[in-house]
Chains A and B, each alone.
Chain A
Amino acid sequence: MALSESDAEHVREHVRVYVTVFVALAVLTLVTVGVSYLHLATTYAITVALVVATVKASLVAGYFMHLISEKKVIRWLLVLCAAFFAALMLLPVGTQTGSGPLWPL
């Protein structure tokens, strides 16, 4: 039921991490909103927004979802998924001719 003392201490360590991550996420949210008010050129705006979002997502996945301490099998599953996700995101728009940043292709 309840863990041994060392396990409970272990979890208390984790709690400190969770709070730190929460603060980081809140700060990053305000950062991304703040950057949007700068009205950067579209390409830069998209890049910054995606980078910040990816960092936030990595924090949630790594610490809240414990990916950082999971075994390789789980991470490899997600790497596989990421590869197919990338194909789904990049290839269709790549076939658009006559428009968009990737033309001519």
Chain B
Amino acid sequence: MSSVVIPYRVKPHPLTGVTSGKLGIWLFLASEVMLFGALFSSYVLLRVGSLPEHWPSGVEAGLSVPIGTFNTLVLIASSVTMVMSWASLKMGNLGAFKRYFGGTIGLGLVFLVVKGFEYGAKFSHGIFPAVGWPEVSDPSTFNALYFTLTGLHGVHVLLGILVNLWLLLFGVAIWKTEPEWFTGRIEIAGLYWHFVDLVWIFLFPTLYLL
């Protein structure tokens, strides 16, 4: 069944300049832009539809800007280590790749752990997706958006970490026989990871700062 050879798996196609896998991941990311776009659009509609005095700022809703800033820098750093790990492969340095790639996974885990603490702090104060911010009459919309948006983003981070872990532990075996193919896979994983960072770059100011 796997005897059929599909072209442009490793060599880029002349028209697009990329391999099929890379074109595929860009298409997937375009759909993810629309997914998070729909969620941001929901945020806009709900916020515009509410009275300004009823909409808390991030700080008023109990979010910690220092922690959010820290997490933002963590994710940006993980993007740097991600692209460095790809560059290491391009230079043929498997050891450097493993260090940088491990760093990406580690930083991603740091992000999730910090997020976990944030959620835990909110839960212990009785703040849940459905529970309001006291004193106002339509209180819960901000929290609903916060938990849903960061939750879905967090799921994307987790999935990225899992895929990266698999690549680091098992996928790397193919470096010996098909280095170009493996480098391409890391590049594709990198594109996904950068996108996750990109979403957070918009999420952070939207939820924490505005």
Closest to A30 in B: B69
B15 touches A73 (CB 8 A): yes
B170 within 8 A of A: no
A68 within 8 A of B: no
B110 within 8 A of A: no
Shortest CB-to-CB span from B85 to chain A, Å, is 11
Closest to B58 in A: A36
B52 touches A22 (CB 8 A): no
Q: Which residues of B are found within 8 Å of A32, using beta-carbon distances?
A: 205, 209
Task: Give A17-62 interface residues, CB cut-off 8 Å to B.
Answer: 18-19, 21-22, 25-26, 29-30, 32-33, 36, 42, 45-46, 49-50, 52-53, 56-57, 60-61
Task: Count B interface residues, CB 8 Å.
Answer: 49
B201 within 8 A of A: yes
Closest to B175 in A: A1
Closest to B22 in A: A74
Task: Give A63-92 interface residues, CB cut-off 8 Å to B.
Answer: 64-65, 70-71, 73-74, 77-78, 80-81, 84-85, 88-89, 92
Q: Which of A60, A73, A80, A92 contacts B17 (CB 8 A)?
A: A73
B48 touches A100 (CB 8 A): yes
Bound state CA distance, A10 and B197, in angstroms?
A: 25
Bound state CA distance, A45 and B198, in angstroms?
A: 20
Q: Which residues of A are found within 8 Å of B191, using beta-carbon distances?
A: 65
Closest to B179 in A: A1
Q: Which residues of B are found within 8 Å of A26, using beta-carbon distances?
A: 73, 76
Bound state CA distance, A84 and B205, in angstroms?
A: 23
Majority SS at the chain B contact face:
helix
Q: Which residues of A are found within 8 Å of B205, using beta-carbon distances?
A: 32, 36, 49-50, 52-53
B16 touches A64 (CB 8 A): no
Bound state CA distance, A71 and B37, in angstroms?
A: 25
B41 touches A99 (CB 8 A): no
Q: Which residues of A are found within 8 Å of B18, using beta-carbon distances?
A: 70-71, 74
Given A19-B80, A84-B34, residue A60 in contact with residue B52 (CB < 8 A): no
Task: Give B15-48 interface residues, CB cut-off 8 Å to A.
Answer: 15-18, 23, 26-27, 30, 33-34, 37-38, 40-41, 44-45, 48
The 7 A-B pairs of least Cβ separation, nearest first, read: A2-B92, A71-B17, A100-B48, A36-B209, A49-B205, A81-B30, A22-B80
- B: which residues have CB within 8 A of A? 15-18, 23, 26-27, 30, 33-34, 37-38, 40-41, 44-45, 48-49, 52, 65, 69, 72-73, 76-77, 79-80, 82-84, 87, 90-93, 179, 190-191, 194-195, 197-198, 201-202, 205-206, 208-210
